[in-house]
């Protein structure tokens, strides 16, 4: 992957193997960043609704693309970011988290959440949501964790999970034998997957839990909250396993063939279970996303394909695309009185295509513009 001199992409912090003098580039990550940066814009612009009349068996193509393509974006970005964090932290130690990584994530969170709040107030003239967020300690906590009730919750969740990742690195490093480290990682992964599975079960309609109290009531509420950062706990351990294998030079097609096969079947099995048992698939309490994104991480590391210049370019803009497109899909084009509303009544499909094109292209152009401003270039 060619280094983008002006890019400070969140999931591009380090693409080098610590055991090699010359930097090794993870070309496969460019493909993942590009595909899922575009996919998240497509999701928010409702691009896949253009296929709402098409079905594969009993399932609508639109639902499949939303739940099993676009919803991979956040898990994939977690996998990439945490994997690179492991590589960098192993080389620099805890000071990397405290001096660079955590301050970077906090600054990104504060900048984009504050910008989004101000933008929404200026656009709508309403401050009710901001006032309600400070009405109680619980409301304020939920507002902070959820990134102002927006997709910007990603930054809080990533900061939270990255801090836990450093804790896990310190704890696991106390184990001297490699076999013990692997056992700890897989046991922790299993436990975190069980927790996510419990969340997915608690999201199912269950009249017997409606009158629950105490810890059960809290767990049900947490499970049904779309901004729950605990959904991302398994990624701490999937990336730790991959990072260990990478540092041990065990990642190769022959070594990984069986693991790829197993991960694919786990992804397939949990996908079938989710589609069979639940109608609520637009959430991250899904083990198919854990195993599917883990599979994609392996495939990206195994990739030897040369990255086209266009893919490199969009990959370098991925952070800017993720953040800036929200000002269009959740701002200018949101609500019944948005600027494209008249077009939506007569040509709904055209409205969707225009919204997607403007949101994607404008976010890229704004990313390039931000990079020309010294104060702003660090946020895209």
Task: Quote helix, strand, coil % in the chain, to nearest 5.
Answer: 70, 0, 30
Q: Residue 346: which pLDDT band, with cuts at 50, 70 and 90?
A: confident
The pLDDT of residue 252? 64
Helices (H), 226-346: 234-247, 253-277, 287-302, 309-316, 318-324, 326-327, 341-346
Is it the case that residue 52 has pLDDT exceeding 50? yes
The pTM of the full predicted model, rounded to 2 decimals, is 0.90
Q: What is the mean pLDDT of residues 211-235?
A: 90
Q: What is the mean pLDDT of residues 7-28?
A: 53
- How many whole angstroms separate alpha carbon 178 and alpha carbon 241? 12
Q: Please give the angle made by the CA atoms of 312, 154 and 295, to the nearest 5 degrees.
A: 60
Is it the case that residue 107 has pLDDT exceeding 70? yes
Instruction: Please write the tens of the pLDDT for every residue from 20-41.
Output: 433 457 889 999 999 999 999 9
Q: Residue 234: which pLDDT band, with cuts at 50, 70 and 90?
A: very high
The pLDDT of residue 19? 40
The pLDDT of residue 133? 86
Q: Residue 343: which pLDDT band, with cuts at 50, 70 and 90?
A: confident
The pLDDT of residue 23? 45
The pLDDT of residue 16? 41
Q: Which of 68-72, 103-107, 129-133, 261-265 has the lowest mean pLDDT?
A: 129-133
């Amino acid at each position: 992957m060619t280094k983008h001199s002006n890019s400070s992409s969140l999931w591009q912090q380090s693409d080098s193997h610590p055991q090699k003098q010359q930097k090794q580039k993870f070309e496969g990550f460019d493909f993942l960043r590009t595909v899922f940066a575009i996919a998240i814009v497509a999701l928010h612009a409702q691009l896949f609704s253009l296929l709402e009349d098409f079905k594969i068996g009993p399932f609508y193509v639109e639902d499949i693309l939303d739940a099993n393509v676009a919803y991979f974006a956040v898990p994939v970005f977690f996998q990439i970011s945490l994997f690179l964090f492991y590589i960098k932290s192993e080389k620099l130690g805890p000071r990397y988290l405290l001096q660079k990584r955590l301050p970077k994530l906090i600054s990104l969170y504060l900048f984009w959440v504050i910008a989004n709040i101000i933008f929404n107030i200026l656009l709508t003239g309403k401050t009710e949501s901001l006032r309600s967020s400070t009405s109680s300690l619980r409301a304020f906590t939920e507002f902070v964790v959820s990134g102002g009730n927006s997709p910007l919750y990603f930054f809080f969740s990533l900061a939270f999970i990255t801090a836990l990742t450093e804790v896990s690195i310190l704890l696991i490093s106390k184990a001297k034998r490699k076999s013990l480290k692997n056992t700890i990682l897989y046991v922790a992964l299993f436990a975190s997957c069980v927790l996510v599975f419990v969340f997915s079960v608690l999201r199912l309609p269950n009249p017997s839990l409606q009158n629950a109290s105490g810890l059960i009531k809290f767990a049900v509420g947490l499970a049904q909250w779309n901004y729950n950062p605990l959904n991302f706990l398994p990624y701490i351990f999937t990336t730790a396993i991959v990072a260990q294998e990478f540092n041990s030079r065990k990642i190769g097609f022959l070594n990984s063939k069986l693991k790829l096969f197993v991960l694919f079947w786990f992804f397939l099995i949990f996908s079938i279970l989710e589609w069979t048992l639940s109608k609520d698939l637009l959430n991250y309490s899904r083990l198919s996303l854990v195993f599917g994104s883990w599979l994609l991480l392996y495939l990206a590391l195994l990739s030897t394909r040369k990255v086209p210049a266009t893919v490199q370019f969009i990959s370098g803009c991925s952070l800017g695309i993720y953040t800036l497109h929200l000002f269009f899909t959740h701002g200018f084009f949101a609500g019944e009185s948005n600027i494209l509303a008249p077009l939506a009544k007569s040509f709904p499909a055209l409205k969707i295509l225009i919204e997607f094109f403007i949101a994607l292209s404008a976010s890229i152009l704004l990313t390039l513009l931000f990079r020309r401003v010294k104060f702003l270039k660090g946020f895209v």
